[in-house]
Structure 1
Amino acid sequence: MNMKQLLFFVLLAVCCLQLSAQSIQQLDSAKTTSIRGLSVVNDNIVWVSGANGMVGRSIDGGASFKWTKVDGFAKTDFRDIEAFDANTAIIIGIDTPAVILKTIDGGITWKIVFQDKRPGMFLDAMEFFNEKSGVVVGDPINGKIFLAVTVDGGATWQAIPESLAPAAEKGEAMFASSGTNVRTVGKEVLLFITGGTRSRLFLRNDKIDLPIIQGKETTGANSLAVWDKKTFAIVGGDFNNAASTEKNCVLTKDAGKTFLTPTTPPHGYRSCVEYLSKSKLITCGITGVDVSEDGGTNWRNISAQGFHVVRKAKKGKAVYLAGGKGRVAKLVW
């Protein structure tokens, strides 16, 4: 073996060791809640939200969490959370009634900033363009997808009139599975995905059919990850058949004009997907966690532990996961 060959094999071994080193580190568990809301401000500040009115916050990188039950909302399921710093965060309660709450004191007190008591109201997810402008999406009301916007950091919200809202097909809705079925690109572009009997990508004025499993209430796209204006990854499946890999992931590099399917798909139904870099992604669901090192073409399972949501720090490298029985974990990578 000459020097060049030796160097090649050494580098290959190092890369293999780095890949195998990826693992999930358990951090905390509040067993009275199932977590689907996760917002990672930076490597140290992490907020989570879930069922039974529970909200958790860590300011030390997950070493410890402070858990609180939001006063007056002990039975509310907070499916999404958006945090801006150690003191400021917004949570959405999905229904009966649908509410949005905001805290500016680290979760000690919460103020109702939006409420809708109409039958059928169901909020799914929330996303912000910046610290002032954001949007929340909800299941269709009277055949129109519910949208509300804020321009003051979530202090007030204004619902988009039904006459201006996008129309949904019968049986088409959204899954409040991880707070990631709506995303933003830059300062103005909003995109979101639907599932159920029909699964589509809504981008500007386009409604693009997705080559993902659909046709039943339990099928369709669950989560959307965006790298840039053209590069997206979408995961989902059938949560009543969680082990199935059939049409559970699609990719696009041209903003939905064409779609690619993975050579090796994620290992089952997946409720959340996140870009870690242009080539590296992570996805999770109730049957485990997968990573891809090649832009989503091939996925490798790194844990059989189920999680609902995974998010990367807005400012930093840390990656956190959360799921059932109050589980919060961190990706070691």
Structure 2
Amino acid sequence: MKYFAGLFSAMLFFSCAKEKKDYKPQFTTVTTTTLHEQQDIGVRAITIDGDKVWYAGSMGNFGALPLNGGKALTGVISKDTLYPEFRSIAQTKDAVFLLNAGTPALLYKVTKDTKHNKLVYTETGEKVFYDSMKFRNDDEGIAIGDPVNECLSVIFTRDGGNTWKKCHALNSLW
């Protein structure tokens, strides 16, 4: 038994040795860029798009920072006097989608050149709070939020984010 324990310990020690791999980054330097010089911004959501990092955050702020040099894109979205607190971001090949936390839920489609934005979904209610959003491909996307009236909040699109519909069939699962 003593020999078995020693043999087992040796096998465990040598089998757990880490294999050395050479890591080569896709970019050589990272420079910091001030997102907005006139105010602090709380970034709450990011997504990688090739050589850019798209972000969304507090007070309606959003934009893209280049990883390999180039110009940063920045923008601010407001609806009347409301500046959304963005918490979710998703993308297709042509646009990024920004979704705020709380009510009213506001979902914006922003072209990747940031020249055009469009409010594509609104939802009001005391407990409305969307948490996450993802596109499966360039046409189909989903956003999920906290339950309201014992029903999980789910909205989806099948047309590239131009229109969104609330899914009401999930309440039968609870």
The two structures have a TM-score, normalised by structure 1, of 0.40
Deviates most, 62-71 or 76-85: 62-71
Match of 2:114 in 1: 107
Aligned residues: 148
Q: Which of the numbers 48, 73, 76 marks the counterpart of 2:55?
A: 48
Deviates most, 54-63 or 122-131: 54-63
Partners of 1:55 and 1:99 in 2: how far apart? Answer: 14
Structure 1 contact 146–162 (Cα < 8 Å) conserved: no
Please report how far the alpha carbon of residue 99 of structure 1 lies from its aligned counterpart in structure 2 after TM superposition.
1.3
Structure 2 contact 78–84 (Cα < 8 Å) conserved: no
Describe the shift of the 1:98–1:166 C-alpha distance in structure 2 as closer, same or farther (beyond 3 A). Answer: farther
Q: How is 1:142-221 mapped onto 2 (pairs within 5 angstroms)?
A: 142-161=149-168, 164=171, 166-167=173-174
Q: How is 1:202-281 mapped onto 2 (pairs within 5 angstroms)?
A: none
Match of 1:181 in 2: none
Q: Which of the numbers 58, 70, 85 marks the counterpart of 1:77?
A: 85
Q: Deviations over 1:191-243 (max 9, x none)?
A: xxxxxxxxxxxxxxxxxxxxxxxxxxxxxxxxxxxxxxxxxxxxxxxxxxxxx
Partners of 1:74 and 1:62 in 2: how far apart? Answer: 33
Q: Which of the numbers 57, 66, 75 marks the counterpart of 2:73?
A: 66
Q: Which of the numbers 21, 24, 35 marks the counterpart of 2:43?
A: 35
Match of 1:136 in 2: 143
Which segments of 5 or more consecutive residues in structure 1 lack a partner in the other structure?
Answer: 1-11, 19-23, 168-333
Please report how far the alpha carbon of residue 68 of structure 1 lies from its aligned counterpart in structure 2 after TM superposition.
1.2
CA root-mean-square deviation: 2.9
Partners of 2:73 and 2:154 in 1: how far apart? Answer: 32
Task: From the CA coordinates, give the structure whose radius of gyration is larger.
Answer: 2
Partners of 1:15 and 1:131 in 2: how far apart? Answer: 38
Please report how far the alpha carbon of residue 74 of structure 1 lies from its aligned counterpart in structure 2 after TM superposition.
5.4
Match of 2:96 in 1: 89
Higher relative contact order (Cα pairs below 8 Å, separated by 6+ residues): 1
Partners of 1:166 and 1:118 in 2: how far apart? Answer: 22
Q: Deviations over 1:286-328 (max 9, x none)?
A: xxxxxxxxxxxxxxxxxxxxxxxxxxxxxxxxxxxxxxxxxxx
Partners of 1:158 and 1:17 in 2: how far apart? Answer: 47
Partners of 2:68 and 2:61 in 1: how far apart? Answer: 19
Match of 2:9 in 1: none
Partner SS state of residue 127, structure 1: strand
Partners of 1:96 and 1:40 in 2: how far apart? Answer: 27
Which residue type is aligned with residue 149 of structure 1?
F
The two structures have a TM-score, normalised by structure 2, of 0.72
Which residue type is aligned with residue 53 of structure 1?
G
Q: How is 1:307-322 mapped onto 2 (pairs within 5 angstroms)?
A: none
Please report how far the alpha carbon of residue 63 of structure 1 lies from its aligned counterpart in structure 2 after TM superposition.
5.1
Which segments of 5 or more consecutive residues in structure 2 lack a partner in the other structure?
Answer: 1-16, 24-28
Which residue type is aligned with residue 84 of structure 2?
T
Q: Runs of at least 4 residues of structure 1 off by over 6 A?
A: none
Partners of 2:32 and 2:91 in 1: how far apart? Answer: 19
Partners of 1:148 and 1:165 in 2: how far apart? Answer: 16
Partners of 1:141 and 1:112 in 2: how far apart? Answer: 22
Partners of 2:85 and 2:172 in 1: how far apart? Answer: 25
Which residue type is aligned with residue 37 of structure 1?
A
Matched, 1:127 2:134: yes
